[in-house]
Structure 1
Amino acid sequence: MAEAAAKTVLDRISQGHLECPICCCRFKDPKMLDCLHSFCLNCLEEMMSKQKSETEKITCPVCRRETQVPDEGLQSLSSSFFLISLVDEIKTQEQLLGKETTNASCESCEEGQEAVSRCLDCKENICKKCQEAHQFLKYTKDHRIIPTEDLDKLRVLPTDVTKAVVPKCREHIEQPLCFHCETCDILICSMCAATEHRSAEHKFVGITNAIESFRESIRTILQKFEKSREQFASNEDSIKHARNRLQEKLARGRSAISSKAEAEIAKIRNKAELLTENLNEIGQERDSEYENSLVHNRDQMERADQIVTAVNDLMRQADDFELLELKPKVMHNLEFQKELKCKPARLDLAFIGVKCQDVVSDTDLGEILLEEKWQLKEEFGKEGSGDGEFQLANSVARFNNGDIVVTDTIQKRLSLFTSDGQHKKSIDKGAGRHQLQAPWGVVVNYDDLLFVTDINKVKVFDYKLQFVRQFTPSVNDAEGLSRSALTDIAMDTQRVAVADWGRKIISVHNLDGSMIATTTNDMVNYYIAITDKIQDRLIFTNYRKNRLLCVDFKGNEMFNVMTSLNGKPAKPTGVLCDDDGSIYVAVHADTLGKSVVQHYNSDGAFISTVARGLYNPLGMAFTPAGGVVVADKHSVKFFQRM
């Protein structure tokens, strides 16, 4: 049973790793191409014979990369010594297990004579004539030869018999290779070191040090490949989200065109069709660009994966000498990591809309909007301290019924308004345990629960501003710790993120207040957003240092960019994250009334300005219908996204 199991294992190893991809048979004199894939020499020669005679390159049938054929021919390609050794070892073990008969043929000549012995250095079964030739030739007379009957009697070869032989120098054939000349990038012997490589310009080190340095270089580059893989994965998700958004916008645009066309009756249907064709053409072009981005990125990673797989196989299976012999090819292949160029998701192409207008015989039905814009729909509030008045409208949220809730951080007041700005109720600073002391940030979830940051606690109210519960994001204040000073609060579908400006912490919680994660960052300031649409991310602004930042839940920085306006650094405040990863930031101008809202993609790249002419914008929130409401210091403004 043990022999049967061993035979099965040998078969699996041979089929999975030791068969030529061309002939699907066990490797025979395997040669390695520049892409690190190996094939039988005879198979490569047959491939070359079918190509045009003037062709000086051979194409790998696995990855389609080309290899320059040496002037001396395919036989001068690097031999895959580790495959040769593995094939030979498999043959030996199969012989020991009785899979092959002891009447093997000579592998050294073509006369087909019965093998009477085996050369352990050449790793071949040889006949009597070849044995005599081995003992006669200068280069092979010291080879270790044992009779085949002695080999068959062994179940496991002695360690010293199977141990790899130290390669000899090609220039000084009696000298073992013991150094690696880093200047020439070749293996040398002690005679080489004392003669051709003895000048000061030659730097050589021992084999052990050279291979360790080489392996460390490989590890470093492979880590970069892994980071590239993560970047490509992230960008693919971003591209898909942007592509989906494009399709949604296209659907809305077509609907708007159709509605307007019906309103203008038959006289404008022709123009409606022309505009629809234009819209579809632009949409197709942009969709094709997204498709090309996906194909390009996948092709890049497929090629990178092939290189990584080949290098990893080589690193596991080859010995030190073979690795250093192949170092130029390995490093040449790994140079591809520097060429990896990931096409990012162009979120600016994902927006497409239609602005319709009244049509007469000499005008078009409408125009196609290639950039997102927000149009001011309505506003309410003014400067003051009375009901419906603000001294510093800081944060805003909207319930599903349209009611608006606003915090005023100077008046320390939380106010509730109808959708048209009529004051309904306010909570001012109070003394009770459940009263608000200094409300700052507000957010409403899908169940119409209102979450409010209040000094060091998060308090939860219903849509009537009735207290429900509370929780403490940070641990209790203790000696040596800064005091909590909670500022903004943000929410995705199932989680709440809280910014603690005092302790420079952002904490993430379940809706019941239980902790999920915390991250510390010296740049934590006032306003934050959270998203799980692309990956778990926390986006926040730093007002004083003009920065827009993004970290994951472990605190790893995804991006850190400067916000600017008219070519100058500008101070950001409120931040929102859309369902496709788009980021919107309120940015302050030097002059009141000139502030804007800017659109960034999921990687922190500026796309466009979507709203202008704001007085002093602070907190922002999306409405259930997809609009945007902005706390603009002394008023609340409603924007419709066009």
Structure 2
Amino acid sequence: MVEAAATSVLGTISRGHLECPICCCRFTDPKILDCLHSFCLNCLKEFTSRQLPKAHEITCPVCRRVTAVPDTRLQGLPNCFFLSALVDEFNKQERLLGDAPADIRTCEECDEGLEAVSRCLDCCKIICTKCLEAHERMKSTRHHRIVRKEQNRFDVTPIEPRKKDTPQCNQHTNQDLCFYCETCQALACGKCAELDHRTAEHEYREVADAIQSYRQDVGEILQRFEQSREEFKVADDSLTHAKNRVRIMVARACKDIAAKEEEEIAKIRNKSRLLRNKVTLIGETRVRKFEEVQKSSRDKMERAEQIVATVNDLMQQADDFELLNLKPKVMNNLEFQDELEFEQAQHELSFIGVKCQDVVADTDLGEVLQEEKWQLKVEFGDTGPEDGKLEFAAGVACLSNGDIAVTDLWKQQLMVFTSTGEYKESIGGELLNDPGLVAVTVGGLLLVEDEKYVKVLDSGLLYISQFEALPDDAVDEDGYTGIAVDKENRIAVADPVRKMISLHRLDGSLIRTIPNDMVSGGLAIGIRERLIFTNVFESKLICITYTGDEVFSVDTSLDGEPVRPGQVCCDDAGDIYVAVGSGGFDSCEVHHYSPAGVFIGRVARGLHNPFSLTFTQSGDLVVADRNSVKIFQRV
């Protein structure tokens, strides 16, 4: 059974690595092309005979790269010695494994039919006692390696391959190749160095020094490739996000257009269709552009990976002399590194919106917005103790019906306003003791941070349940740091007292805790189960996974100076929006970051003291700015 398994393994390795791509058989006299692919010599001859006659070049059947044919024709192409050696060794091992049955074997050296008692590893034959004696007497075979038969089996322990002799010069008989001429990029013997490479322009060195320098050069190039691989990943992720974001923006723009269409249904249906097509066409054009850049980057990386894999195989398996013979080809293939650059996504092209307008007669329904800008749309919340007025707007959340829920720290109330700022109702007193930040679940339930509890209310502000999220020793100013809910209704609560984020189910049961010493600010949930939070004191914007692995940690700044980040939220595409301030009132801003933590731009400036922010279903940004609530829209 062991021998059968070994034979199967040998066969698998042979098919994967030792078979010619043309004949699908094991290599015979393998030759290597400039692209580092190898083929049997006879297969190359047959392949070229079927092509149009091109005496000076051959096209690789695998990758279609062209290799110049030497003056000595295909026979002059470099031999792939390590493949030849591997094929010979595999053939030998298969013969060893295949010749170990349980029945009696007869001698393969003579015709007397005597029982074989030994195996000659050099002759690859099993022999009888007489032939063994002859082997030991004859000068040509007395040093052959012999294994004895034990328990009706022959020892098939793998034999260490014999070390190759130093290759000899083809031009000067019996002269070892001991030098490498860097000028000619060729191996040379002592006579070659003295006769053919002795002029000043020839720079040659000993083989050991040449191979050491060669390996060092290849290692440096491969190290640079690792850096390129990281750059490719960043660029590829940015392009993927840009594609997703432009699709979301297109969908949202089409939704806005459809809403406007309903208002002017009789007059603008046709113009609505034309504008949707225009938005979609721009979106498709940009997506195609992103895909073209992404495909180009992936193609470059795929080709680079193939070359690196082949070069790594050569560097590990070929001997020094063969590596030096192949140096020009290897280094030529590694020149891809100098051109391995990846184009980042142009973030501004990932935005598409729509600015609708009232239409009459033949005017257009609206215009396509291809550059992202923000302006104040609505501001509400007069200051005062009366119902519907604000003293310290802290938490803000958008309900499923479009209403806006706002908590007031000083009045200790939760108030509800329409999307245009009209006051509707409020609760407090016995139900809410000290309401802070708020969030809304996928089903429209309202989550309110109230001291150390998270309280769950329905859309009518009726109490449903509550669970404890903070420790008993948490003080008021430590309790209001962040609450967020993902699309599966998993609730994340920032806990600055114990320096962690706790993840809960909707019923309050704990899923896990995620320790992090930097928890000290706002909290949001982004794409792919990522927690985004801020550290006020270190001026940091941080992103981690649900398992606690850091995705990024970036400094927040305003005009080159560090600023304190506060609350944070994410839009549907996963872009991050952070409220920041330099310490003074009326100088705060909202900054826009990509899901990878790259600063994109400013959304709003001149804010008083933004304490919380969120998005409406239509994509407007709502900011609880202490004395008022401000709604910003893209224009």
**TM-score normalised according to structure 1 size:** 0.70
* Corresponding residue for residue 89 of structure 2: 89
Structure-1 separation of matches of 2:473 and 2:60: 66
* Corresponding residue for residue 457 of structure 2: 462
Q: Which moved more, 1:61-70 or 1:444-453?
A: 61-70
Aligned pairs for 1:424-573 within 5 A: 424-427=425-428, 436=433, 439-453=435-449, 457-463=452-458, 464=461, 466=463, 468-472=465-469, 487-494=481-488, 495-502=490-497, 504-511=499-506, 512-522=508-518, 524-532=519-527, 535-543=528-536, 547-553=540-546, 554-558=548-552, 560=554, 562-564=556-558, 572-573=565-566
| Structure 2 counterpart of 1:526, one-letter code | G
Aligned pairs for 1:46-445 within 5 A: 50=51, 53=54, 59-65=59-65, 77-96=77-96, 97=98, 162-165=161-164, 167-168=166-167, 227=230, 231=234, 234-235=237-238, 237-249=240-252, 251-252=254-255, 255=258, 262-264=265-267, 275=275, 278-311=278-311, 313-314=313-314, 317-318=317-318, 333=333, 336=336, 339-359=339-359, 363-374=363-374, 376-385=376-385, 387-409=387-409, 411=410, 413-419=412-418, 420-422=421-423, 424-427=425-428, 436=433, 439-445=435-441
* Corresponding residue for residue 628 of structure 2: 635
Q: Confirm or deny: 8 A CA contact 1:250 1:283 kept in the other structure.
A: no
* Corresponding residue for residue 136 of structure 2: none
Structure-1 separation of matches of 2:182 and 2:464: 73
| Structure 1 counterpart of 2:31, one-letter code | K
Q: Confirm or deny: 8 A CA contact 1:381 1:421 kept in the other structure.
A: no
In the TM superposition, residue 41 of structure 1 has moved relative to its aligned partner by 3.5
Identity of aligned residues (%): 41
Structure-1 separation of matches of 2:428 and 2:99: 91
In the TM superposition, residue 370 of structure 1 has moved relative to its aligned partner by 1.1
Q: Confirm or deny: 8 A CA contact 2:93 2:158 kept in the other structure.
A: no
Structure-2 separation of matches of 1:397 and 1:328: 65
In 2 relative to 1, CA 33–525 (structure 1 residues): closer, same or farther, beyond 3 Å? farther
In the TM superposition, residue 369 of structure 1 has moved relative to its aligned partner by 1.0
Q: Confirm or deny: 8 A CA contact 2:526 2:595 kept in the other structure.
A: no
| Structure 2 counterpart of 1:252, one-letter code | K
Q: Confirm or deny: 8 A CA contact 1:550 1:560 kept in the other structure.
A: no
In the TM superposition, residue 223 of structure 1 has moved relative to its aligned partner by 5.9
| Structure 1 counterpart of 2:39, one-letter code | F
In 2 relative to 1, CA 330–529 (structure 1 residues): closer, same or farther, beyond 3 Å? farther
CA RMSD of aligned residues (A): 5.4
Q: Deviation per CA, 1:225-256: give whole Å up to 9, x if none.
A: 77467546644642452353254146436636
* Corresponding residue for residue 569 of structure 2: 576
Q: Deviation per CA, 1:4-53: give whole Å up to 9, x if none.
A: 66655544433332211123232122233454432223444565674674
* Corresponding residue for residue 135 of structure 1: none
Q: Confirm or deny: 8 A CA contact 1:484 1:503 kept in the other structure.
A: no
Q: Which moved more, 1:209-218 or 1:311-320?
A: 209-218
Q: Confirm or deny: 8 A CA contact 2:221 2:337 kept in the other structure.
A: no
Among 575, 578, 585, the alignment partner of 2:578 is 585
| Structure 2 counterpart of 1:461, one-letter code | V
Q: Deviation per CA, 1:79-117: give whole Å up to 9, x if none.
A: 333321221123334445369xx99xxxxxxxxxxxxxx
| Structure 2 counterpart of 1:514, one-letter code | L
3-state DSSP of counterpart to 2:543: strand
Q: Which moved more, 1:589-598 or 1:359-368?
A: 589-598
Structure-1 separation of matches of 2:400 and 2:613: 16
Q: Confirm or deny: 8 A CA contact 1:599 1:607 kept in the other structure.
A: yes
Q: Deviation per CA, 1:340-374: give whole Å up to 9, x if none.
A: 44444545333323323344668544321113455
| Structure 2 counterpart of 1:560, one-letter code | V
In 2 relative to 1, CA 598–503 (structure 1 residues): closer, same or farther, beyond 3 Å? same
3-state DSSP of counterpart to 1:83: helix
| Structure 2 counterpart of 1:87, one-letter code | V
Q: Confirm or deny: 8 A CA contact 1:404 1:417 kept in the other structure.
A: yes
3-state DSSP of counterpart to 1:293: helix
In the TM superposition, residue 415 of structure 1 has moved relative to its aligned partner by 1.9
Q: Confirm or deny: 8 A CA contact 1:488 1:498 kept in the other structure.
A: yes
Structure-1 separation of matches of 2:626 and 2:478: 25
Structure-2 separation of matches of 1:272 and 1:462: 39
Q: Confirm or deny: 8 A CA contact 1:405 1:415 kept in the other structure.
A: yes
Structure 1, unaligned runs of 5 or more: 104-117, 126-142
* Paired residue total: 584
Structure-1 separation of matches of 2:188 and 2:498: 60
In 2 relative to 1, CA 275–30 (structure 1 residues): closer, same or farther, beyond 3 Å? same
In the TM superposition, residue 385 of structure 1 has moved relative to its aligned partner by 4.8
| Structure 2 counterpart of 1:18, one-letter code | L
In the TM superposition, residue 397 of structure 1 has moved relative to its aligned partner by 1.8
In the TM superposition, residue 302 of structure 1 has moved relative to its aligned partner by 2.3
